[in-house]
Amino acid sequence: MKQFNFLLINIFVVSLIISCTSPSDKSIDSFKPNIVLIYFDDLGYGDVSAYGATEIETPNIDMLAEGGIRFTDAYSSSATCTPSRYALLTGQYPWRNKNARILSGTAPLLIDTTQLTLPKLLKKSGYHTGIVGKWHLGLGDGNVDWNKHISPGPNEVGFDYSFIMAATQDRVPTVYIENGNVCRLDPDDPIQVSYELNFPGEPTGLDNPEMLKMMWNHGHNNSIVNGIPRIGFMKGGEAARWVDENMADTFLVKAQNYINKHKNEPFFLYYALQQPHVPRTPHERFIGKSGMGPRGDVIIEADWCIGELIKTLEQPG
């Protein structure tokens, strides 16, 4: 069985999981360790026990930290969603791109398709590349028809496989997109999305608080999906809409499937967790587990996901 070294970089938190044992029948130059990049969304430096948290336990993240390298004097390229992800994938400071700000769910693709990216670099070295989770780097040309194939996107900037949300969990459209196609899309119930005006007759968090299971704040008071008010307006696509409480499990299963499918070849998986960004919606298995409310619960949930992912890597060696 291969052995693994674990490198935990707390940017939000990024974990790089690589195989460290070179096969005896291959040269160092030809050996390609599998790479898994785990990215948290809005996790603070002190939110995990490996970095000093005392009221919450994150044993799987701690295991990575203890088995690898902890950076205790590191700096993030940005403290917000889109700019940090842009820098991670392009190696370019986000302030060099005037459009690298927090994007709406209908923003055009931020990364130029001719630009060198991390997945492109690894593809050139013989890796299969995949992304599972939060994208938030724009899609298409800014005038996306969500009922047709969506391009350009992750697949056009270096990823062979993609299973993503378009933007972030608090924004519409609230659907999963696999390789440029909205999952479970019903052609008889087309999706419409707007960040300017609501669609006539559609309820909102501001006007219909009786429909909410989570009260709105900070402008999250537009379309209601799964009892949660969002940023932006959406109509249609009922069968395609995600269930927030199942999101962590959905992304985990897709990441596990990707690993199992490509375990016999060099692969790069960018596993972009949505936790603990708002809205914080832990599965019922994790409600109350942290004793610190929803934010603590989703951190516990995310740590569990990492543990399950590690098991998936270990099973085939």
What is the rounded CA–CA span in Å between residue 110 and residue 78? 16
21 close to 33: Cβ distance less than 8 angstroms: no
Determine the residue type at 17.
I
Apex 42 CA angle, 38 and 43, nearest 5: 65
Residue 136 appears among annotated catalytic residues: yes
What is the rounded CA–CA span in Å between residue 176 and residue 134? 10
What is the rounded CA–CA span in Å between residue 182 and residue 162? 11
| Helix/strand/coil for 239 | helix
| Helix/strand/coil for 283 | coil
Q: How close are the terminal C-alpha atoms of the chain, in Å?
A: 5
**Set 20, 128, 136, 262: catalytic member:** 136
What is the rounded CA–CA span in Å between residue 242 and residue 7? 32
Per-residue burial over 142-156, b = 16 or more CB atoms within 10 Å of its CB, e = otherwise:
eebebbeebbbbbbb
309's enclosing H/E stretch is helix 293-314
203 close to 211: Cβ distance less than 8 angstroms: yes
Determine the residue type at 103.
L
In this structure, are strands 128-134 and 161-165 parallel, antiparallel, or unpaired?
parallel
**Set 81, 128, 262, 305: catalytic member:** 81
264 close to 19: Cβ distance less than 8 angstroms: no
Q: Give catalytic residues, as residue numbers.
A: 81, 136
